[in-house]
Amino acid sequence: MDGLRVLFSAAEIAARVDALATEIARTLPADFVMVGLLKGACVFVADFARALDRAGSRPEIEFIRLSSYGSAKESSGAVQLLGDIPAGLAGRPVLLVDDIVDTGRSLVFAAAQLRQRDISNLWTCALLDKPQRREVEVTPDFVGFAIEDVFVVGYGIDYAEKYRHLPYIGVVE
Ligand code: IMP
Ligand code: MG
């Protein structure tokens, strides 16, 4: 696609998702609840669920929707919950899954919301991590790929709602 440089091909993503699933299946109890952050994590969660099955986990799948980035490349900094936190999380081990950790605000906000639900344990996972961009201190427990400070799209990740459908992850140039 014009103006996009491939950063991770579909095959590279698939291999990394499988490896992450193996690591998580070894670490978490088999019956955890995977909570994805919409919309960005939708493609990752769908592939991840099937990779986790191959690795021996039996996750339930839930989603939380946070306020979006809007059409800008920079976050407004204010994160809001759109809709409800899924019911029935009390006492459960939870894996919070996002597409990218950038400033860290979304992950910290979502984790705080989940902790208020008396879950038994919380782990966090992000397919991509941009550690240089962090504004609040947070380190995901599981990371697919650490990347430089570049703006990426594809595999669920958008720029102004475009490019989520791409099977690969590209850098907008
Ligand atoms: P944070 O709250 O600043 O950590 O931002 C996390 C969210 O911002 C991610 O879940 C993405 O939805 C979005 N985001 C961060 N970096 C990028 C990017 O490079 N491309 C597209 N969306 C991004
Ligand atoms: Mg997101």
Query: What is the whole-number distance in angstroms between the Cα of residue 73 and the centre of ligand 1?
Result: 8
| 107-122 as b/e: b if 16+ CB within 10 A | bbbbbebbeebebeeb
Structure tokens at 30: 């088999």
Task: Please give the average per-residue pLDDT across 122-140, as a whole number.
Answer: 97
34-79 tens-digit pLDDT: 999 999 999 999 999 999 999 999 999 999 999 865 556 766 678 8
How does pLDDT run across 36-45, given as a tens digit for each residue? 999 999 999 9
Looking at every residue in the chain, the average pLDDT score rounds to: 94
Q: What is the mean pLDDT of the segment spanning 135-142?
A: 97
Cα 54 to chain centroid, rounded = 20
Which residue has the CA at smallest separation from atom 9 of ligand 1? 100
Give residue 71's pLDDT.
Answer: 57
Q: pTM for this structure?
A: 0.95
Q: Which residues does ligand 1 sit against, CB inside 6 Å? A: 40, 69, 75, 98-107, 151-153, 157
CA of 161 to the centre of ligand 2 (A): 12
Q: Which ligand is nearest to the CA of 66?
A: 2
